[in-house]
Amino acid sequence: MKLQRPTDFDILRVLDEHGRNVASNIAIHADKDRNYVNTRLPVLEDYGLVEKIGPAERSGLYEITERGRMALEYREEYDEVEDFEALVEEELGEGRSD
């Protein structure tokens, strides 16, 4: 998982604080370029940090996932650990009650 700091964490923060949203609104809240946010959202989706939701397939409406919340929670450790993705997965596993 290769995240762009601070933009990717800003996107996650906006979705966490404001709920599901589209790239143009996320860009405004994060004070980032809309086109750049549009390029980062599919990457964050590939990492499982955000999810594109309906109603239409091309609606561009995104929401943060539990994995995204965990990444956001541990953002300060991104540069400190060798494998941030493993840290997120480990923390997700510990939070489960199955």
pLDDT in tens, the chain (98 residues): 899 889 999 999 999 999 999 999 999 999 999 999 999 999 999 999 999 987 777 778 999 999 999 999 999 998 888 899 999 999 888 755 54
Q: Give the burial string for 56-89 (b: 16+ CB within 10 Å, else e).
A: eeeeebbebbebbbbbbebbeebeeeeebeebbe
pLDDT, residue 35, reads 93
Q: What's the total number of domains in the chain?
A: 1
In a domain, 28, yes or no: yes
CATH of the domain at 82: 1.10.10.10
> What is the C-alpha separation between 85 and 89, in angstroms, rounded?
6
Three-state DSSP state, 68: helix
pLDDT, residue 95, reads 58
Angle of the 84-95 helix axis to the 66-73 helix axis, nearest 10: 120
In a domain, 2, yes or no: no
Range of the domain at 87: 7-95
In a domain, 22, yes or no: yes
In a domain, 1, yes or no: no
65: tokens are 């996932």
pLDDT, residue 98, reads 44
> What is the C-alpha separation between 21 and 50, in angstroms, rounded?
11
In a domain, 63, yes or no: yes
